[in-house]
Each structure stands twice: as structure tokens, then as C-alpha cells.
Structure 1
Amino acid sequence: MNHFVRNMLVIARRDFLSIVATPTFLLFLLAPLFMIGLGAIGGLGASQLADSARGAGRIVALADAADIEALRSADQRLRAALAGRGAPPTLLIRVAAPGDDPRAVMREKGSDTYAVMHGPLAAPAIVEQEAGSRSGRYLALLADAVMRDRAAGTVTPVEARFESVATGGTSVAAQQSMGFGAVFTIFLLTLLLAGQAVGMLAEEKGNKVIEILAAAVPLESVFLGKLLGLLGVAILFIAFWSAMAVGGGFIAATQMDPAAVAAANAASPAAAALGAAPATGWAFFIAICFAYFVMEFLLLGAVFLGVGAQAGTVREIQMLSLPITIFQVGMFSLSAAAASAPGTALATVAQIFPFSSPLAMAARAATDGDHAVHLLALGWQALWVGLVILLSVRLFRSGVLSGGGGWKFWRGTARAQGDSPALR
């Protein structure tokens, strides 16, 4: 076992240095600068998710059962008058019960609650997220409309009591945008970095280096060493750009006036949204997204190495990698849809399916504060990583020993075990 691990680490170091210690690696390291267009696409998708999530916002009226129909009728009239972009959020009317806490209603998960009205309609109390919000004023206008409908003559305008309260969390729209950003980032990095396996395998097959390695080192060590070396390159890539981002953010922060930033946040909810946080907290979110990236990279990298070994030429390697890339784009689409609809059956399917699970669970980490479910998901994904690597090692062995050019899975395995020429 020590000899096996030593051989694997030697191959990993060789592949790592063969990529990193070259001038072209600098171009690869700076590749994100040439991918601003893809980043713009990701930002557009995130903004669309945010817009769809804002549609899930609501205002709530806790009213007596006798007032429900009157509130609905007044709401329909007012919405018709305010049709268009000025229309208020969806109104949810609940029968008030003793002990109802409007603050608890505002903290309910699944949608953003902008304001809650409770108490008698003649003098309602309105709890709102932001003082002087349009949602709070609309609820006051709604109560006033009901009282005017009931009055036969002149009626005194309703005087509502307003109270602003901080919900202590981030909006659903912002968290779903973070989830989509995690899915897009992991997908882009995995596709960019795991694709190096195809290029390396094509080069080594072309100059016959892979055959020399197969003669000197067990193929299992070659496969795992290559996978580990590629993972090291990916981690170096992420560390470089993370350091650049942190350094750039630190420099930008030192150039800002704290008083001006605080004033801008107080005046603009959009600016204040920059301080949003995922449901699991930033530290856990970043750590778990990195773990999901490792799982996704190992899955895709193992498949690339196993399938690519079946090809005999560079063109065949590229052709075989195309279906894998298309499949991965499909997993990205499934996970992006799950990010926009957390808690649905579609999201559950994406979180369970092995090849989309890392992406979908990264999106869930932004909207669901449960930490234990991610540890369970990592165990589930690690099981599939082991199975995929086990199958890919056999494919890799059969492809290398047969010289590629066909799916000689069992034939290559039999040759490795020293069967007779007649069986070959």
C-alpha cells in the first residue's frame, strides 16, 4: 500500500508540475479575464432569479373572519387602480387568532413579508420591514377603503399605527441569487479545470508517454495520481483568484468613506443588499461550496479520464468528451432550475441525483440554514465518487492496455491479469 501511494503521489506531482511549470499556465490562470461574457450571462440569470423571487414577496393582513370578504373586495379594486409596476405585493389574508405575533409572521420562511397588519380596521397596527414603505401604506389604504365602504355617510380617515422592525435576515431574492451564483461558479470552474484531463490525456497518448507510465507504474496509481494532480491545479487556480478577490476588496474598502457608505446603505435598499448573507452563514457557505466543488470535480474528472482512455486519437478523445460536456450542461440547467424553486420536487430530484447533487446542494446552502443535511449530502456524494472512480479506473486500464480505439473493457482487464493470448 505504501508503494502504491508513493507511485500515485509521484504521478500527481509530475502532472501538477507539467501543467503549472509552463509559460502557458499563466495564460490559463488569466483565462477568467477572457470569460467576462460568460460572467455577464451568469449575472443576467441571477437577476432573473431575483426578479422571480421578488414576485414571491407578500403583505399579510390578520383580520377577523367577518372582515375577510370586505378586504378581498377592496384589494381587487385598489389593485385594478394601481395596475402595472406600481402594483403592491400579493396580499395574504389570515383569520386572526389570539396570540398571533406579526413579527413571527414576518420571519416565516419561503417568501419575503414586507408588512403585516393586525388589530381592528378602524385603528390597525402595521408592522413593516422599512419605515414608510409602500407596502405598509397600502395596507393602511386598504383598511381605510373597507371602512369607507361600510360607512353610509362621512367617515373619519383611518389612523394606522406604524412600526418598523428588522427581520434579522436576508431576503429570499438575495439568497436565491447567491444560490444561482454558487451553481454557476462551480459549473464553470469544473468545466474549465476538469477539461484539462482531456488535453493532458490526448498529449500523452500522442507521444506514447502513457504507455511508458503503464509499464513502470500500476495503472491504478497512474489514474489516481492524474486525478489528484488535476485537483491540485484546480485548488491552485481557485486560491490565486480568491487571493486576488480578497486583495482587491481590501484595497477598495480602504478607499471608501465609511460615513458615505453608511449613508448610501440607509438611503438605498439595493445598496444595503450588498451586506446580504446566505442562510447558512458566509463561513459555512464558502467551505461547503468548496467541498461540493471538489466532489463535482472528482466526478467529472474521473469520467473524463475513464472515457478519454478509450480513444485512440486526439480527435476521438475530443469527440468522446463532447457528450460528457453536454451532459454536464444539462446538470447545470437542472440545478439552476432547482435554485429558483427551493423546496420543490424538482429541487429534491436535483439534490439526490449524483451528478447534479453538488450543484443543487450548493444552491440549497444559500437558502436553507440546516447544516446537518449538507454533511449527509457529502456522504452520499462521496459514495458515488468512489463508485465512479472504481468504474473509471477499469475503463482507464482497458483503454490504455488496448491502445484505445474501442470500448474493450473486459478485454483490457483480462490482459492486465495475464490471461492467455487466445483470450485477447
Structure 2
Amino acid sequence: MTRLLKAAWVIGRRDFTATVFSKTFIFFLLTPLFPVVIGVLFGGIGARVATQAAQPRVAVVASAADFARLDGARDRLQSAFGERPMVELVRAEPAGPPDAQQRDLLASKSQPVVAVLTGGLAQPRLTGTMEPNGTIAGQVRAMVESARAPPPSAPPVAVRATASSTGSESRSRAITAQMGQTILFFLTLILATMMLSQLIEEKSNKIIEVVAAAVPIEAIFLGKLFAMLAASIVGLIVWVTAGAAAVSLLAPGGTGSLPTPAVGPAMFLLFIAIYFSMNYLLLGSVFLSIGAQASSPREVQTLSMPASVAQILVFGFAALAVGSVGSTLAIAGAIFPLSSPLVMVAYAAEEPALWPHALAIAWQILWIGIVIVISARLFRKTVLKSGPVKRSWWRRASA
């Protein structure tokens, strides 16, 4: 056992040094920056297009006085709707027969509208392509009723803001739980997949066969697994530090403006690191055993696809536990080994209790040991069968 651990330490130190102190590791650290930039760019463009497309325009055939009252009512209602798009009102001076003007406005291409409001505030009539009880008709009705109402004689509602409330805390903690789960899932999936390419490269160059002649196969498995975990944690520390610095510089209020997890920011970051390690060891063991059975990148993609799809389903299952702490679904997600780290990250964001994490971590360590033993045996059986002498079982089946 001591010889196995010493050999695993040598392999792990070799792989960790070769990974972290390489030029490609710098580009690896920049990898999360690209989806963030693309997401912000296209998210802003998409939100702008969606807002413009979702803001319908209604022509109002009315006097200047009636239109001013309607437009004022719209401004008052807009503050209640916030960022949600409301109907845009454009005034049309009454001219000629109302029905003919209405048809001309609906057919106009220079200033397209979805509906026309005629009759003023006395006898309003809305005509256009819309549902009678839909959003457009409902907003126009609210504007007309607000414009008809006399100015209130009583003082307006006094609003006093408080620092926090149970409703706002619950919502912010649910958002934190979803963010934690998403970060954990994508980082684990990306980093576990990267380990396959390294293994395939060593198998194709026969390096792993040379190393296997000097140390036990299990030591190679453990060394590679924990070396990539250590390199991934280095990347995680760099990304968290860079993210905190960016928030401090760009966001009003700095990191203090972020939602506060139930266990506190420091403990939440610690749980992120712990559950990332657990999730990585579980998924990395599976991917490493898959990589040992493949001899080319194409075979890696074919074999790893079911594992990736299954992990996506596990992520969806774990996401259902957000906001339902203590439910049967959340308990089942915490017990199932592959979803347990993701569910417990959400638990740390939503509940302050610490003792469930001790049970969950012990449970996950047990399953990590089981998965590593099984994966190491598969790794031992297949890692040296990379030559063309004996074909793999899936090749024989397809022949």
C-alpha cells in the first residue's frame, strides 16, 4: 500500500507539474472568459431585440387632451411594471370617417401598429390583431381606467425600504444555489473531459506503457486523477479571485452586493471547493476509465457522450431541489451519489445548518472509494490494450 501511494505521488507530481507549469495552462485559465464574454454580448443583444419585439405599438385616435391623460396613465403604470415591456402609444389626429382611418392605420407600413384605439376616453374601442383578454388589451384597459379616474384626494402610499426580508432572502439564496450548481456542473464536466485528451495522448505515444512497466497501474490511475484535481483547484482559486476582483471593480457596492448564502460567504466558498472535489473525483474516475478503453479521440467522444448526457440529466435532477429543501426530492438528490454534491451546494446556499454537510461528505467519500476501486480495475484491464493486436469489444461487435 505504501509503495502504491508513493508511486501515485510521483505520477501525480509529474502530471501536476507538467500541467500547471506549461504555456497551455494559461490558455486553460482563460477558457471560462470566452463563454462569459459571449454570453454577456449575445445576452445583451438578445434582451434588446426581445424588448423591442415585445413592445407593441397602439395608435390612439383622440384629442390632444385625451391622449395626454392616456400617456400620463401609461407613465404611472410603467413604474409598476418595471423593465417589462408595455404598450407604446402613438397619437393620430382624428381625420375623416373613423372606420376608414382605422383601416389605414392598421395597414400602414411606415408606422406599423397592432391595434387602434378610437372613441377617446368616453367611448373607447380597441381594434386590432390581439386576444380580447390578452396582455395588450389588458394594458390598454388599465391605461383608460387610470386616465378616467379623478386625481386621488388621499396621500399616496408611503414606502419604507428595509435591509432584508424573508421573501427577498429566500429568492436571493435560491439564485445563489442555482449559480453554485451551474458553476460546479460546467467546471467539473469541462475539466473531467480534458483529462481524457491527456490520457489518449500518452496512450498513442506509448508513454503510459513505459510508465506502467515501472509502477502499478492503480498508481497511474490515482496519480492522474488527483493531479488533475489539484490543477483544477488551482484554476478554481484563480477564477474565484478574478471574479471577486471584477465584481469589486464593476458592481456597485462590490462583493457586498452579491446575495449572501445561508452559511456565509467564506463557508460557502469552502463548500464549493469541497463539493467540486467530490464531484470531480466521482465524474473524473468514470471518464478516466472510459479513456483507458479508447485508443483514439474519436472513440473517446463516442464513449464519453453517454456519460456526459447522463451528467446533464443528473444536473437537471439536482436543479429540482433548489427552493425545496427538506422535500422528498431534495433528500433523494442528496442521497444519490452523482447528484449529492450539486444538491448539497444548493443546501449550503439556502440553509445555515452545517451537520447535514458532515453526513453528506462522509457519504460521498464512501462512494468515491467505491467508484475509484471499480474504475481502477477497469483501467488496469484496458490501459495496456492500446495496440492493434487485439480489437476492442465494440469493434468486434460492429464487425
Change in 2 beyond 3 A, CA 1:85/1:161: closer
Change in 2 beyond 3 A, CA 1:272/1:192: closer
String of CA shifts for 1:181-220, please: whole Å, max 9, x gaps: 1000101110111112111111011111111111111011
2:359 aligned to 358, 376, 380, which one? 376
String of CA shifts for 1:262-305, please: whole Å, max 9, x gaps: xxxxxxxxx99925311111122111121100000000111111
Report 1:339-354 matches (<5 A). Answer: 339-354=322-337
| Cα distance in structure 1, aligned partners of 2:341 and 2:334 | 7
| Cα distance in structure 2, aligned partners of 1:227 and 1:275 | 34
Give the AA of the match of 1:282: P
Aligned to 2:309: 326
What SS class does the counterpart of residue 8 from structure 1 fall into?
helix
Give the AA of the match of 1:326: V
1:161 CA drift (Å): 12
Give the AA of the match of 1:233: A
Report 1:13-28 matches (<5 A). Answer: 13-28=13-28
2:295 aligned to 307, 312, 320, which one? 312
1:239 aligned to 213, 237, 261, which one? 237
Report 1:159-198 matches (<5 A). Answer: 171-198=169-196
Change in 2 beyond 3 A, CA 1:273/1:18: closer
Instruction: Say if 1:8 and 1:222, in contact at 8 Å, map to a contact too.
Output: yes
| Cα distance in structure 1, aligned partners of 2:223 and 2:338 | 22
Instruction: Select the structure with the greater relative contact order (CA < 8 A; seq sep ≥ 6).
Output: 2
1:176 CA drift (Å): 0.1
Q: How many residues align?
A: 289
Give the AA of the match of 2:27: L
1:248 CA drift (Å): 3.8
| Cα distance in structure 1, aligned partners of 2:297 and 2:256 | 49
Instruction: Say if 2:247 and 2:255, in contact at 8 Å, map to a contact too.
Output: no
| Cα distance in structure 1, aligned partners of 2:9 and 2:373 | 18
Change in 2 beyond 3 A, CA 1:215/1:188: same
TM-score by length of 1: 0.60
| Cα distance in structure 2, aligned partners of 1:18 and 1:167 | 49
Instruction: Say if 1:179 and 1:366, in contact at 8 Å, map to a contact too.
Output: yes
Give the AA of the match of 2:179: G
What SS class does the counterpart of residue 24 from structure 1 fall into?
helix
Change in 2 beyond 3 A, CA 1:401/1:243: same
Aligned to 1:36: 36
| Cα distance in structure 1, aligned partners of 2:231 and 2:276 | 13
Report 1:18-417 matches (<5 A). Answer: 18-36=18-36, 171-249=169-247, 274=257, 276-403=259-386, 405-406=391-392
| Cα distance in structure 1, aligned partners of 2:242 and 2:206 | 38
Instruction: Say if 1:310 and 1:407, in contact at 8 Å, map to a contact too.
Output: no
1:9 CA drift (Å): 1.1
**Quick one: percent identity of the two aligned structures?**
39
Instruction: Say if 1:342 and 1:364, in contact at 8 Å, map to a contact too.
Output: yes
What SS class does the counterpart of residue 209 from structure 2 fall into?
helix
| Cα distance in structure 1, aligned partners of 2:262 and 2:25 | 37
Change in 2 beyond 3 A, CA 1:339/1:38: farther
Change in 2 beyond 3 A, CA 1:27/1:177: same
Instruction: Say if 1:196 and 1:230, in contact at 8 Å, map to a contact too.
Output: no
Question: Which stretch of structure 1 is more off in the superposition, 276-285 or 392-401?
Answer: 276-285
1:402 CA drift (Å): 3.2
Change in 2 beyond 3 A, CA 1:168/1:390: same
1:252 CA drift (Å): 5.6
Unaligned runs of 5+ in 2: 45-76, 82-153, 395-399
Unaligned runs of 5+ in 1: 45-82, 88-156, 262-270, 409-424
What SS class does the counterpart of residue 226 from structure 2 fall into?
helix
| Cα distance in structure 2, aligned partners of 1:184 and 1:38 | 17
Instruction: Say if 2:13 and 2:227, in contact at 8 Å, map to a contact too.
Output: yes
Give the AA of the match of 2:315: F
| Cα distance in structure 2, aligned partners of 1:320 and 1:243 | 35
| Cα distance in structure 2, aligned partners of 1:379 and 1:356 | 15
The CA RMSD over aligned residues, in Å, is: 3.6
| Cα distance in structure 2, aligned partners of 1:357 and 1:38 | 31
1:351 CA drift (Å): 1.4
Instruction: Say if 1:399 and 1:406, in contact at 8 Å, map to a contact too.
Output: no
| Cα distance in structure 1, aligned partners of 2:162 and 2:202 | 63
Give the AA of the match of 1:364: Y
Aligned to 2:11: 11
String of CA shifts for 1:340-383, please: whole Å, max 9, x gaps: 43333222221111001100110111111111001100011111
TM-score by length of 2: 0.64
| Cα distance in structure 1, aligned partners of 2:184 and 2:376 | 24
